[in-house]
Structure 1
């Protein structure tokens, strides 16, 4: 019996040791022509070495893939590209899920993926995916920022279903990767498979979920030798036509054209440049009624500023919407003057970025952009004379990043952002040092940053921001704790975004998660968080909360989550009054939330979210819910509807500031309102896929939010609010908007796209609240504010080498 136990223990240890070793696959050189058709019938595939014995990533981490679902992957290469051939066996091929979707959005479909790290430094993967519906996806993966699907490469793939399961054939040109110039290459590599109907994910080399890292658990690819990558020069010319129309206005058309360039300076570094920008087909921003003290933050929708920008994300210092955003100044008006025309955005003249990494792990990123001189129009209401005022001069934006990786799991980064405006306008500079240090076994992490900002304006300002966090990053039980310090004059907002200053804080987290499924749950985690924040000058408590939340996925792959947050003490908000040194007291409160999301594998699924918050103040509560049903009619057609409702009763907020004419030495009266704030939002989205290259998409959004002031209050010096009936100006707010996007997209060749887009949008802000919902929406759609835009754009991808080879053949 003892021998049986001993040998059982020994076998277990050997299996564990084997699973934790990096697997190795040999790439086979080929001179044959490989047709990317998903058939894997070339002789070169028969001679290549297979990668097999996939292990489950989740939910049952480390479990060997069943024989009837076995996966075999082979790798070939030549001087042009690396080729991946994969066979995903399935004994029930008729049950393979294969919804057709847009690129980078796989929907409900089985997936195969390959992860490549050309430097084998454990820091960054280039990931390429193909679904069973033959849809491509690609991204850059880092442990710090996760998967960034805004990155797009040009590569070729084909997925084909057969009687044994489904197969994938992929060609990845070296131009889509980054690697050293060594004659003998060793790359980090891993292969991925998701069986969607079972919600099970597998990888070739085990990704141990007990370890808090993903990119460092690749296997090894060997055998690539003496490759001579071609010149990496790609031209992407484009032409666009825009037809604009609005009620009561003249319809006009505009033709635009330009070119983007991508050039491989070396094997590791790439130059991207926009010669003539055209962002006319970017998505509309989802604007809201913003009653708070800070501007609304928007997502970046322009491809140049989203693709391959992982280096520029270091230290959270770069907010690309500053480039080409709203002008940085407002015009000074004289008596009897008004603004008749004010630009909502500044035109981009050109932009370029250089990024890459040396074989020693030094990453270099340089981004530079120039925006044009921009004017506002001012009119004298008495004389009728007009004048133009510069609200944004010619401006240069620059970002520099130096990121040194070491020990395959750590990095130190120097970041600098700089904005120079022509003439006597404000200039800004921010320099930061960020670090991410991990133990060799990836069990503990120390990360943080220090930033220093300098503003050159009529009054120069300098400020500091620093943060440091220590965390245990492995195992079932994990924890973290840290602190931030932000000085009063820290200001990165010319090329970054940060609103909260003049404080210090302390925070901590403890959590538990299951690493393998149980009889009831595929995933389960419980988290406990604490946070305290203090005003740096007064020492008053700005924030203090205790939070607990639970997130779980059942064995039927339905998600449930919920949490509760206690604010046990009165806190003081230094931002809502909009006056330096003033604050408003916020009473104690309890916030709660709950969420349900049913399994998307079913044709019908639904998302439900609810919140309920109670304040320690008479009748001051807030509550709301979201409901989002979705129905997949077929692998081609999907419709999703989302309705959101949120209500804040007896909300207290800033509405105005009044001069005290009787006493010039006294501060202005800060006026608040006791108000009810109600928000409705309806969103309908749909997708019809003709095939994996042609899709039609619809997105319609209606939004309405209003703040109905019940009574007016004055903010006292001690942060309390008292009645202020002498203020009679109507400061109610009602904002409603509508936008529609109907698009057609056809990827007619690798990297080349024809797109057609119809959109309309309208918005309106009023002080008089019309609570008739139907009349509100109808009025918005029928007035002169509704604008219509139809556009067609063609982008063509030109590979310099392909053109050169054709010219040689003809010669």
Structure 2
């Protein structure tokens, strides 16, 4: 009997692997109520998708009958409807932690993946967890899953005596598809049984292949749909109350409008008028001692949602839009009385979509207002304005042609035009991502050209080429890139290093199915070397070996070691053209352990250590993060990190009137110890899947204590320097706290309350008493308090039209 079942399972698996499954849907005229009951007669008239196969950990294993899944699909002229029954022989063990939107929590979940073009390039993915929470994302093989994209759709999850049930309504406005009368969509259904960390899909997803979106099944039966006008309005109103000890309490009322319009079934216009980003997450600012700016995450929804097309070529760093790039210049007896840290966005729009032939078109445009600083003369009392940022227009154009279901070639252009004599920038790129028909090998790369008009015209190029084997247990990749000295995409992108060429490679081995000891195992070897383009000197090098392991109990751990086998010529830290500092060879190692988050108590730990070939120059660091889930509503996470860099070398000053033997300005470095502490507390209390309280606290302190001063020789070496007595120590500490309440009172409509306080201080005097630093932050006269409330309401033009017709 066991032999028969095994043979049947292997045969069934082979049949499932060898061809795409097909599911037929049917048109309905009677309404479907999204209540999780699945009791309408229409559901009895359509076939079900069954016979799911495991994706992880035991890839290809058929689902047990007592844990089977059955899914049905219906459609009308407005939406598709999904009904899913998830059977479970132990329904009382179904995990169902309540969490906010786009957070699965510790819960079972069900999902549907839809590709309206059936071209294997992009999935629209919609998930519902067992606690009735929603998540959605856009997924591509090149960029992974983008959960910043949000759609408006309905769902209901209900726990039953046989398992649990999900009912969904996904309007066509949340999808993209061709205008054909007869539609053929790519579709797949996904389920995770969280307590066992088992993931299943309807159409088999072969983990040996380096692709996810190209392994959908087929949905047929959609024909002659008459999609309604896709016009959605999202008006909002916000009120802010700001206060600190230096100014009176000030209230500000704002209002604006977001708009979404379906130009046709494939293309959508998104626009924001009078935007408001006052409730976006704060930035995790650090003490930045290096030559490059700190790169921040984009937290503004408009610039994170549905931007997969605009990420082509990695030319868009949307935080440039609304940032200040110039500093005010003071004369003698002048002080700066008003120095804005950001620029107001006047409006912005996006148009994106894809034609039947696979041509993706994306246009993003934003306009920012003229922004000035105020400078006062302390003697005369007069004040003047200085322009920090002029009126500016930011534009991105993307043309992305897909072909053969798994490959694409794209043209990308970014342009920034500033009013008046300020700098303008333009960058163009050709980007390719080519895969063999069997998805076993990949050839990708790009060619970029930049044009900057400032004091003079500057042009540059950058290019990269990568080849990889993308299937099987053993995989490898090889690549090279090159950046000329004058390549500059920093008007709308971000790039730190130029004037180099580099080579890199990777080889790795992974298991695709569990063994007697592991659910997952992977070992990697990475090699990298970079040369200065003009001198040929080594700018960077690294040899890395690391291992990542997942145990049968779904705990994870890993470790790795790095070698920098060559002295490196750092052309960036001196911050002066043609100068460099030589950094020694070094090695480092790290490890981590992560306990399965299914447990109420879990934790992560990550120690690090590195040492350079120089007396006393080393680094030690550790991150520890325990978490506790009190119940399905309440959970807390604490993270502590500590690091110490001993005998770190960094530039602190340039003596413009003191020259070395070669006639260069003397560049001073400090031999310093850099110590950093950070505490982060995050917590949530969920009343239900639509009502959530969230807490986020971050306290950060970092200081750099100079031990002795060094000067940089023309040979790139550092030697002792006497006679410099200025205090170039650094101490930066900051505090942020957000306490918020969010209520999704209707699909797409939300009211949110936020209390925020924040403070930051930079000093040259280091006080090593931790308690004093905390007190200084919380009693600082600059401690800013903000209380805000925001209401956003989703309006569907068709609902208004239907109400008018009925009345």
Q: TM-score, normalising length from structure 1?
A: 0.98
Q: Secondary structure at the match of 1:314?
A: helix
Query: Which residue number in structure 1 is paired with residue 77 of structure 2?
Result: 79
Of 94, 98, 104, which aligns to 1:100? 98
Aligned counterparts of 1:303 and 1:410: Cα–Cα separation in 2: 29
> Is the CA contact (8 Å cut-off) linking 2:651 and 2:670 kept in structure 1?
yes
Which range is displaced more, 332-341 or 518-527?
332-341
Query: Which residue number in structure 2 is paired with residue 36 of structure 1?
Result: 34
Does structure 1 residue 439 correspond to structure 2 residue 436? yes
Of 7, 14, 17, which aligns to 1:16? 14
Deviation at 1:477, TM superposition (A): 0.1
> Is the CA contact (8 Å cut-off) linking 1:660 and 1:666 kept in structure 2?
no
Does structure 1 residue 387 correspond to structure 2 residue 384? yes
Of 281, 284, 305, which aligns to 1:283? 281
Of 625, 634, 642, which aligns to 2:631? 634
Aligned counterparts of 2:605 and 2:172: Cα–Cα separation in 1: 45
Aligned counterparts of 1:451 and 1:353: Cα–Cα separation in 2: 23
CA deviation profile, 1:41-92 (whole Å, cap 9, x unmatched): 1111112100000000000000000001000000000111100000000010
Aligned counterparts of 1:776 and 1:331: Cα–Cα separation in 2: 30
Distance 1:547 1:661, change over 3 A: closer
Of 139, 142, 149, which aligns to 1:141? 139
Query: Which residue number in structure 1 is paired with residue 749 of structure 2?
Result: 752
Query: Which residue number in structure 2 is paired with residue 249 of structure 1?
Result: 247
Deviation at 1:330, TM superposition (A): 2.2
Deviation at 1:261, TM superposition (A): 0.3
1:18-417, aligned counterparts within 5 Å? 18-326=16-324, 328-417=325-414
Aligned counterparts of 2:746 and 2:10: Cα–Cα separation in 1: 51
Distance 1:141 1:663, change over 3 A: closer
Of 512, 515, 539, which aligns to 2:512? 515
> Is the CA contact (8 Å cut-off) linking 1:672 and 1:715 kept in structure 2?
yes
Deviation at 1:17, TM superposition (A): 4.3
Does structure 1 residue 598 correspond to structure 2 residue 595? yes
Deviation at 1:726, TM superposition (A): 1.2
Does structure 1 residue 589 correspond to structure 2 residue 586? yes
> Is the CA contact (8 Å cut-off) linking 1:28 and 1:49 kept in structure 2?
no
Q: Secondary structure at the match of 1:690?
A: strand
Deviation at 1:383, TM superposition (A): 2.4
Query: Which residue number in structure 2 is paired with residue 476 of structure 1?
Result: 473
Does structure 1 residue 798 correspond to structure 2 residue 799? no
Aligned counterparts of 1:136 and 1:11: Cα–Cα separation in 2: 34
Deviation at 1:31, TM superposition (A): 1.1
- List alignment gaps of at least 5 residues for structure 1: none
Aligned counterparts of 2:110 and 2:42: Cα–Cα separation in 1: 21
CA deviation profile, 1:187-239 (whole Å, cap 9, x unmatched): 00000000000000000000000000000000000001110110000000000
- List alignment gaps of at least 5 residues for structure 2: none
> Is the CA contact (8 Å cut-off) linking 2:280 and 2:300 kept in structure 1?
yes
Runs of 4 or more, structure 1, over 4 Å off, are 8-15, 661-665
Aligned counterparts of 1:204 and 1:90: Cα–Cα separation in 2: 17
Query: Which residue number in structure 2 is paired with residue 557 of structure 1?
Result: 554
Q: Secondary structure at the match of 2:486?
A: coil
Deviation at 1:545, TM superposition (A): 1.3
Aligned counterparts of 1:381 and 1:771: Cα–Cα separation in 2: 35
Of 658, 676, 679, which aligns to 2:676? 679
Aligned counterparts of 2:593 and 2:688: Cα–Cα separation in 1: 32
Q: Secondary structure at the match of 2:183?
A: coil
Query: Which residue number in structure 1 is paired with residue 464 of structure 2?
Result: 467
Q: Secondary structure at the match of 1:46?
A: helix
Aligned counterparts of 1:654 and 1:551: Cα–Cα separation in 2: 37
Q: Secondary structure at the match of 1:34?
A: coil
Aligned counterparts of 1:12 and 1:380: Cα–Cα separation in 2: 84
Aligned counterparts of 1:506 and 1:10: Cα–Cα separation in 2: 49
Which range is displaced more, 213-222 or 774-783?
774-783
Number of residue pairs aligned between Structure 1 and Structure 2: 805
Does structure 1 residue 699 correspond to structure 2 residue 690? no
CA deviation profile, 1:674-710 (whole Å, cap 9, x unmatched): 0000000001111000001000000011000000000
Of 479, 496, 499, which aligns to 1:499? 496
Q: Secondary structure at the match of 1:216?
A: coil
Q: Secondary structure at the match of 2:622?
A: strand
Aligned counterparts of 1:724 and 1:739: Cα–Cα separation in 2: 40
> Is the CA contact (8 Å cut-off) linking 2:658 and 2:666 kept in structure 1?
no
> Is the CA contact (8 Å cut-off) linking 2:659 and 2:665 kept in structure 1?
no
Distance 1:372 1:478, change over 3 A: same
Of 538, 563, 569, which aligns to 1:541? 538
> Is the CA contact (8 Å cut-off) linking 1:20 and 1:206 kept in structure 2?
no
Q: TM-score, normalising length from structure 2?
A: 0.98
Aligned counterparts of 1:589 and 1:11: Cα–Cα separation in 2: 53
Aligned counterparts of 2:85 and 2:658: Cα–Cα separation in 1: 81
Aligned counterparts of 1:400 and 1:491: Cα–Cα separation in 2: 18
Of 549, 572, 575, which aligns to 1:575? 572
Deviation at 1:12, TM superposition (A): 5.3
> Is the CA contact (8 Å cut-off) linking 1:154 and 1:751 kept in structure 2?
yes
Aligned counterparts of 2:8 and 2:741: Cα–Cα separation in 1: 60
Deviation at 1:659, TM superposition (A): 1.2
1:591-670, aligned counterparts within 5 Å? 591-660=588-657, 666-670=663-667
Aligned counterparts of 1:34 and 1:40: Cα–Cα separation in 2: 9
Query: Which residue number in structure 1 is paired with residue 766 of structure 2?
Result: 769
Q: Secondary structure at the match of 1:56?
A: strand
> Is the CA contact (8 Å cut-off) linking 1:660 and 1:667 kept in structure 2?
no
Does structure 1 residue 421 correspond to structure 2 residue 413? no
> RMSD across aligned C-alpha pairs, in angstroms?
1.5
Deviation at 1:255, TM superposition (A): 0.6
Deviation at 1:755, TM superposition (A): 0.3
Q: Secondary structure at the match of 1:215?
A: coil
Deviation at 1:32, TM superposition (A): 1.4
Deviation at 1:329, TM superposition (A): 1.9
CA deviation profile, 1:528-561 (whole Å, cap 9, x unmatched): 0100100000100001111000001000000001
CA deviation profile, 1:142-187 (whole Å, cap 9, x unmatched): 0000000000000000000000000000000001000001110000
Q: Secondary structure at the match of 2:412?
A: strand
> Is the CA contact (8 Å cut-off) linking 2:132 and 2:158 kept in structure 1?
yes
Q: Secondary structure at the match of 1:197?
A: helix
> Is the CA contact (8 Å cut-off) linking 2:425 and 2:450 kept in structure 1?
yes
Q: Secondary structure at the match of 2:688?
A: coil
Aligned counterparts of 1:54 and 1:806: Cα–Cα separation in 2: 42
1:775-790, aligned counterparts within 5 Å? 775-790=772-787
CA deviation profile, 1:83-105 (whole Å, cap 9, x unmatched): 00000000100000000000000
Deviation at 1:662, TM superposition (A): 7.2
